[in-house]
Amino acid sequence: MSEQNQTLASFKAVLKTVGVESYAEPVVNDTTIVILGRLKPMTNKDTQLKLAETRLLGWIERALRAIRDNKDFKVRFSRPWLLKEDQLVFTWDFTLQGDLAKAVEILKEIPVPKAPAGSESTEDTAQQSIKPKRGTVKQVRIGAMG
């Protein structure tokens, strides 16, 4: 595997740790990598991607602070808007330019914010109806407490 491919794979792995699924690499050369990606939900209930976006923005802020004085490379993290099937949507653009290997090594060291307490993905638990001798039917949750 060439150094360019290793750097690209490493950058994609870093993005995956913060919940980004890459779907295109419009520019990949010795001095520049551009990756387009989309967020994946952090939990089953994160359908609007609010938790995932908060986590990514926290990581981006930490990354920008860590590299602000670096002269060997530049980064750009942006969110361009697109028209997809007549709907306004956004994607994420992650660009590295300059010393790519050094940039990826520094980005690997940036801690990834954890999910907020209580927001971890949980499995769906079964519900069973119990018919009382008198009155209404009450829903009872079977499985783990939570």
For helices 50-67 and 100-108, the axis angle rounded to 10 degrees is: 120
Question: In this predicted structure, what is the pLDDT of residue 58?
Answer: 92
User: Which sequence spans correspond to the domains of the chain?
Assistant: 3-141
Question: In this predicted structure, what is the pLDDT of residue 81?
Answer: 83
Q: Average pLDDT by consecutive 10-residue portion of the chain (146 residues)?
A: 87 94 93 93 84 91 92 93 81 94 94 70 54 64 64
- Only one residue has tokens 């939990």, namely 43
CA atoms within 13 A on the CB side of 26: 7
Query: What is the separation of C-alpha 11 from the centre of its chain, rounded to a whole number of angstroms?
Result: 13
Return d(Cα 65, Cα 23) in angstroms, integer: 27
Global pTM?
Answer: 0.72
Question: In this predicted structure, what is the pLDDT of residue 45?
Answer: 85
